Structure 1
Amino acid sequence: MEMELKDIEDVARRVDSLVQEILSGSDEFRKLYDSSMHLFKAGGKRVRPYILVKSAELLGGDKENAIRLATAVELLHTFTLIHDDIMDMSDTRRGVPSVHKVFGVPMAIIAGDLLFGTVFEVAASTKIDPHDIKEITFELATATRRICEGQFLDMTLQGKLEPDDKMYYEMIEKKTAALFETSAAIGGMIAKCRENELRLLRDFGRNLGIAFQITDDILGVLGDPEETGKPSGDDIRFGKFTVIIAHFCKNASEEELQRFARSFNKPEAQEDELIAASELLVKTGSIRAAEDLARSYTERAVSALKKLPENAARTDLEFLAFHMVKRRA
């Protein structure tokens, strides 16, 4: 287990080193590049780059090209985080003030835009077959569109207290799972995988992405701010609609719904009110149901992996999948 975690850290170091090189910039634009680097310096799990690199290794792809394209994926992910924090009015990310809190909203917007443009610069300059570059660039662009659609749905669902979870799954498949799926798919493309292998990698990435987001939603209710880097209870305070909320609406009594509504989507909610609301989600079994769902989607992800060649890279991805649903941050 320690060796596998060390391997994740090795991929993260290589990606971060390349990001630092790419975003060095000139003194004339120092503030712009400093703002674009802010979240990278704060750390992060680098899960998506790891998925890409290991998916490439699984099928015999070149690791150096995988590292470069994994960097493009992390640039894309960080662009979305910067803009998400502006839209969500989030003050912190990864335990530090959000980019817009440090540098202001206009600078945060352009920092995100810079990262988005750099994604395609990095991808286009990767030394692989031009046809593969075209396919990979299209994959990245499509993922971006899906992420934007997912963010739109997230905004639309904010504040809703209803039992229908159909829109939730559509939202997380786009907003979160899309980039997990794209990471796995690009890894396969680097290795020039067969169509059935690409489909299995997509299945793995998509299901792991869904499990990842459900786990994130659980941490948004019960996570320790010292570990998650985000204030406790914010998902309740700002009315984040999740599968936890949908389950609660199906199973809570009318009196419990009324009590919960006093804190849900109420930015002025006090800490004791948020704790009471969290306890209601536990009492109704909504947290437990979400944990079961996260495990189920993880098992689906691993099931897809097991149809691919058995080797060290596959083992690493299986370990990652099970680690993701047990994480505390």
Structure 2
Amino acid sequence: MNQVDYLRISLIDRCNFRCQYCMPQGTELDYILKQQLLTDDELLTLIQEVFIPVGFTRFRLTGGEPLLRPGVVDLVSKIAAFPQTQDLSMTTNGFLLAPVAQNLYDAGLRRINISLDSLDADTFDLIIGNRGRSRWQDVWNGIQAAYHVGFDPLKLNVVVIPGVNDHEVLDLAALTIDKHWHVRFIEFMPIGNLRLFGDRGWVSSAELRRQISDHWGLTESQIRGNGPAEVLKIPGAQGTLGFISQMSECFCDRCNRMRLNADGWLRPCLLNETGQIDLKTALRHGVITTQLQEQVRELLEIKPEINFKERDSGTTAAYTRTMSQIGG
């Protein structure tokens, strides 16, 4: 079991996209009320007085869409300023990124993951549930801004959906050839929406590796990620290819992270809430942070025993919460 020192922090559960694999159409979401969200001060207190003392040194800011959080640049600056913060990153859909990319970099953010599920504007808008003006160009502008500002590595997350964008795998992989970009192919997880794309299931990382290898070949990469991705590269390419295989190759034994939801619940696993802790309520009721440290330590002790719920031959049992509500 890897050392668990990586905390994914959901800043907000709202998003300006409605990606079908995250918030499928027809799903009614009960958004967290503003007063139910962790405040900046509460979040900073938990990081400094609870998580850092028990060994967390790497933090990723997620959502929903984290750039919708008011004051996010200032929050980044304060987290980056903690001496114990070894790594601070963000996952975003990129739509709001271009105007604030430089500010985020100046605040101390150095790594960023941007969702880019298609290079075709129509397919992209289909996936994100957009019915108005295309948003693809705004996201592409955000990617370009992050690249020119100097984010390194700049990672592009691609959820591969059979019959929707799986025909673009080679085009997306080719983005790594001439630029120091890192494309990460993620197996589609039908969380809370098992019938979203009918019975087409998901495309395995093994199949994606085969497609790319048949076209260019694949070699080992010297770059290793913070998570469970298998990292390879096209021979001679500047960037790398990551394969995240949570459906076909369970990697629970290599998991090094926990998740702090926007409402203050600490969860040990994407799909298993065993031992979850309501840190916000405890903090607001005056529980001292040393007691919260002990609760987190106890959860860390049982984490090696926690796996995805009811996994069976690469499928996930019905799970009513959507990815946006989990924090990704």
User: Structure 1 length normalisation: TM-score?
Assistant: 0.29
Greater helix share, structure number: 1
Of Structure 1 and Structure 2, the greater strand share is in 2
Give me the TM-score of the superposition, normalised by structure 2: 0.29
